[in-house]
Every structure is written in structure tokens, then in C-alpha cells.
Structure 1
Amino acid sequence: MSERFSPSAPAYPLATTSSPTPSVPPSTQGPKLLDALRTQLRVMHYAIRTEDAYVDWVKRFILFHGKRHPRDMGPKEVAEFLSHLAVARNVSASTQNQAKAAILFLYRHVLGTQLPWVDDVVIAKVPQRLPVVLTAREVRSLLHELNGTTALVASLLYGTGMRLMEGLRLRVKDIDFERREIVIREGKGSKDRVTVLPENLIDPLQQRLRKTQQLHQTDLDAGYGEVHMPDALQVKYPKAGRAWGWQYVFPSQARSVDPRSGVIRRHHLSEQSVQRAISGAAKRAGIHKPCSPHTLRHSFATHLLQAGYDIRTVQELLGHANVATTQIYTHVLNKGGRGVLSPLDQL
């Protein structure tokens, strides 16, 4: 009978909390399993959202198999769990893939086990759906229902094609008003890219930066003012976190504790607040389509293609690795059902 998994197991026991990385454990006992997982994810510079998601999936995997330790399980148990997600839970293909990636990361990078290819998994069906796109009139009505910082963020997403988190993580130094461009750092896939800075946003952004600079000076006077630095730059440049150029363009209204380091900092604006504001504005504007911040990115790409820009240019602005991903927006170039004139209209 295989060993049951318990918090007191000597090799990588399960951690019940998600506290920051603990100090180096005694040599007589290895680190707890989930703490070791978090440590490895941080060593490999995974985002904190990915870290939390991977830890959660590993917990679910362990609980699904009656708290058996992962080292006592293998491809069969992994296949059973992933199939359960697709069959019983009816999760999407992307959700199932994330769960699979989390479990494989655990075995490969924490337990040091290379699992053979799992062939018996029931794969969640990948839906073939077209993106929701707003018309120019609908975008105008949506932006009209927003105000303040949220209106500026929404305008930036539509005007540049940024993803929501790319816009909220925008730093002061990455806006170039002279070249009329914005550098997007560490986008999806940890890739940098350059996108257009709309002329209509130059004055609003400059006004936003003046307010942000005043807030940053207030933090400095109070003994704070340090912002989160990517990767190991905080160690390499200890004072850079307080520099004006590294500050977020859209800072939060309140300081908060960094969940990893415990340092009190001012993070960027909450994505939930922007999502709620855009959803509410869409209802007030009478837009009955599903509307989220990402809808503005879809609309940006579609409207550029409608304006005659070539698909390669749109691909670069969106940061797609493959032009096939961008081609989904070409559906709008065919008016009606693939541009066909219905025989009913010829009567």
C-alpha cells in the first residue's frame, strides 16, 4: 500500500500556509513541499500570479488522491486528475493546461522526476470562438461613461492594444513622448515590444504623471517611495526602486505589504477596479455584448485592420509570436457571412 501524505512526512511535507519564502531549513529535515515549490518558482522568476495558481493546482492534485504524496504517484494519477477536470469539472482547455503545467513543474523541478508523456488524459475541448469586438460608436459610448483614472486606463488599452496588466504595470520611464511610443516590458511570454502612443493621450498622460509624481514625493517624505523591481534589479541597483522613472504610471491609492518580501510599497492600480468600472460603463452605455478590458484590445486590432494596416504591423503591436494568432481578427474584413450577398437581398 502506498504511503499516505501527511504534514509530518519527512520528505517535502505539505505546507498549509502561503507565507513568504522561509529561512533555510535545518539539514535534518527538507523544506515543506509547497514551500519548496514556491521557492523554485521564484528562483525561475515566475510571476506571483503563476506561483499562486501552481501551488493551488498542486494542492488540488494531492487532495484529489486522498493526500497521497506526489512522489508516490505517477503518470496514472496525473492522467486521472486531468481527466477528472475535463469530464467531471468541465473545465476549459486553458484551465486544464495550466493544471498540467503546474503538476509537471512540481515533478520536474521540485521532485526531480521526469514523468513520461501522459497519453490517457481526456483533453478538454478547445472552443473555436471569435473575439468580442466593439464598433467605433460603442467604444466612444463606453469611454464617455468612464471618468478619471479609469477612463485614462481604458483609453490607453484601446489606443495601444495593451493587455490590462501591461497597462497597469506601465512605468514612467517606458513612455517616450518625443518618439510617440510606449515600451511594454515583460509582456506575455516575458517579451518586450513597442506600441504606438496616441496623440490624444499625450496631455492626459502628462497630467497623470504630474499627479503621480506628487504622490511619489509624499511617499518619499514619509520614508517610503520604493516600488517593486523586476527580477534581481533590487539587489543590483538598491536605490533604483525609489527613482522616479521606475514608478508605476497608475499607482494604487494606498500602500500595501509586498506578499513576498514583506516590504511596505505602493503597488499599481488594482485590476479588479478597472474590470468592474468597464463592465458597469458598458451597461450604462447600453452595450449588450460581453465587455471587459480585453475587449478593448480586440477592438484595437480589428479597427486597425479595418483601417487598412497590414496584419504584420498589427501582429507586432499586439506582441503575437505567430501571425496565425492575429489572423482571427481578419473575420471583420468580410462584411456579413464571409462577404456573401444573400439571395434574399437580390429580390
Structure 2
Amino acid sequence: MESDTGQGNLAERLRIYLIRRTREHGISRPYHDQLVSALRRFCEMVLKRNVEDLPLVRPRKKKTLPTVLSQREVRRLLAELRNPKHLAILALVYSAGLRVSEVVRMRPEDLDLERGLIHVKSGKGGKDRYTLLADAAQLAVEAYLEGAHPGEWLFPGSRPGRHLTTRSVQKVVDRARKRAGLEKSFSVHALRHSFATHLLEAGTDVRFIQELLGHANTRTTQIYTHVSNRELRRIKSPLDMEEGGGRAEESH
């Protein structure tokens, strides 16, 4: 009969403990990983047991839909930007669906103002791509450049030789959101989500949206089909149907 400190018993106790911590206390995946590492070190250093093969469970990653702003909310947000530099940044994020990290790392030569294109260098996954430069975004960038001499980076930060940080851009969004009276809380990345969703609702093929966003495959882009309400608005609720005007098929 296996003792209390046997490998199987130890594995089961740790598994039950982790399940309880995960389900009852709602711990995050990073905290769970730290907990697993601590348990392994304890077992190896104190109990002198090898626990590499223990069946430790990981909490399921929550599948949440991205936050999306309406076009009206986006306009209200942009209207509150007083600084031409800030307006140019957020106009690029929304109009081209760029990641904020891609925007702050832009160099002046990455914008092709004549052809209306943006060259995104070393995007996520280290891949380069071209995306559209909207007329409104180009006007915002040109207005910013009239009074700025950016040098190496299109959007330089406060420290010499450094570009603006993504955290600084988020602070800009937070202030503009409050001034615009937008109650929902969102990150600057919501503008990228909104770009994709608004294109989808306008009838743009998801494959083109995938290319513009720089997604490796369409599965990542497909999440916006769950956020888009274009098709949802076409469905009439039974409560709104006139009597005898149609009914759902009966299931057998």
C-alpha cells in the first residue's frame, strides 16, 4: 500500500489543491504558473521528490470578446484630442487598425504620403506589411509635422533618442475618454478592434481585414464576426413579428 508521501498520493493532493485555488479563488494564469513553480521547488528541495511529471492543471483562459467602440464614440474620442501629435497617433491606430506598439515605433520614412500607404516594419511575429493610410489620418499627420521635427522616430518620447511609450498613449486615451464622457473603460487597442469590426460591418471581406491587421491566419480575425452586429440587426425578434407574419420552424 502506497504511503502518504508516495508519488501518486502527492500528485493527487497537489492536483486537488490547484483545482480548489483555481476554481474557488479565480486565480490568473500567471499567478497559477508561479504557484506551480513554488510547489515544484518545495517538493524538490524539501520533500526531495521529482514532480516534473505531476498532472498539474492550468486554469482555462477566459474567452472574452474584444471591446469595440461605435463610430460615433470614436469620433467623440478623437474630437477631445487637443495635441496634434496625439491626434495623429490615434488617427493612425484607428484608421489603419494598427497596434499601438507599431505606431510608436514608426519612423518618418514608413509613411508613403504620395501613395497613401503605411509600411509596418517588424510587426507582430517579425513580419513586414503594407496597410492603408486614410485621408483623414494623413491630414492629421501632416498637421502634426507642420510644427514638429521628429527626427529618427515619427513620435519621439520625452527621453532623447527614444520613441513615445505605449503607456503614454494609453494615458492620452484615458484623458480623452473622460473628457468625451464615454463611460465604458477601454484600452487604446480597442481602436484596432473597432477598425476591424467597422470594416466587417461595412461588408469588407474578412481575408482583406486579416491582411490589414497582420494576422497570420483568419482564425484570429474571425473573432470580429462575433462582435459585429451587422447580421444580428437583420434578424427580427419573434416579439417584433406581426401575428401570422412568419414563425420559426418547429423542431421535431
Same fold, TM-score > 0.5, yes or no: yes
1:143 aligned partner, one-letter code: L
From 111, 119, 133, the equivalent of 1:175 is: 111
Deviation at residue 285 of structure 1 after TM alignment: 1.6
User: What is the aligned partner in structure 1 of residue 197 from structure 2?
Assistant: 302
User: What is the aligned partner in structure 1 of residue 68 from structure 2?
Assistant: 133
Q: CA separation in 1, counterparts of 2:233 and 2:155?
A: 41
Contact 1:212 1:251 in 2 (8 A): no
Deviation at residue 193 of structure 1 after TM alignment: 1.4
User: What is the aligned partner in structure 2 of residue 107 from structure 1?
Assistant: none
Q: CA separation in 2, counterparts of 1:253 and 1:306?
A: 39
Q: 1:171 and 1:292, CA in 2 relative to 1: closer, same or farther beyond 3 A? A: same
1:274 aligned partner, one-letter code: V
Contact 2:215 2:221 in 1 (8 A): yes
Contact 1:96 1:124 in 2 (8 A): no
Deviation at residue 331 of structure 1 after TM alignment: 2.4
Q: CA separation in 2, counterparts of 1:327 and 1:97?
A: 29
From 177, 184, 189, the equivalent of 1:289 is: 184
Pairs within 5 Å for 1:1-347: 87=22, 90-93=26-29, 95=30, 120-148=55-83, 149-213=85-149, 216=151, 247-255=152-160, 266-335=161-230, 340-346=235-241
Number of residue pairs matched by the alignment: 214
Q: CA separation in 1, counterparts of 2:200 and 2:143?
A: 31
Deviation at residue 333 of structure 1 after TM alignment: 4.2
Q: CA separation in 1, counterparts of 2:217 and 2:53?
A: 27
- RMSD (Å) for aligned C-alpha atoms: 3.3
Q: CA separation in 2, counterparts of 1:125 and 1:197?
A: 38
Contact 2:91 2:140 in 1 (8 A): no
Deviation at residue 211 of structure 1 after TM alignment: 4.2
1:253 aligned partner, one-letter code: S
Q: CA separation in 2, counterparts of 1:117 and 1:154?
A: 47
Q: 1:250 and 1:338, CA in 2 relative to 1: closer, same or farther beyond 3 A? A: same
Q: CA separation in 1, counterparts of 2:112 and 2:33?
A: 36
Q: Mind listing any 5+ residue stretches in structure 2 that lack a counterpart?
A: 1-10, 36-50, 243-252
Q: 1:90 and 1:202, CA in 2 relative to 1: closer, same or farther beyond 3 A? A: same
Q: 1:328 and 1:99, CA in 2 relative to 1: closer, same or farther beyond 3 A? A: farther
Q: CA separation in 2, counterparts of 1:118 and 1:209?
A: 58
Higher relative contact order (CA 8 A, sep 6+): 2
Q: CA separation in 2, counterparts of 1:335 and 1:160?
A: 21
Q: Mind listing any 5+ residue stretches in structure 1 that lack a counterpart?
A: 1-75, 101-115, 217-246, 256-265
Can you list the C-alpha shifts for 1:115-139, whole angstroms capped at 9, x where unaligned? x986623212111211111111111
Q: CA separation in 1, counterparts of 2:128 and 2:144?
A: 24
Q: CA separation in 2, counterparts of 1:251 and 1:130?
A: 33
1:133 aligned partner, one-letter code: V
Secondary structure of the structure 1 residue equivalent to 2:94: helix
Q: CA separation in 2, counterparts of 1:160 and 1:318?
A: 8
Contact 1:306 1:332 in 2 (8 A): no
Deviation at residue 209 of structure 1 after TM alignment: 3.6
1:314 aligned partner, one-letter code: I
Q: 1:344 and 1:89, CA in 2 relative to 1: closer, same or farther beyond 3 A? A: closer
1:284 aligned partner, one-letter code: R
Q: CA separation in 1, counterparts of 2:196 and 2:94?
A: 9
Deviation at residue 165 of structure 1 after TM alignment: 0.9
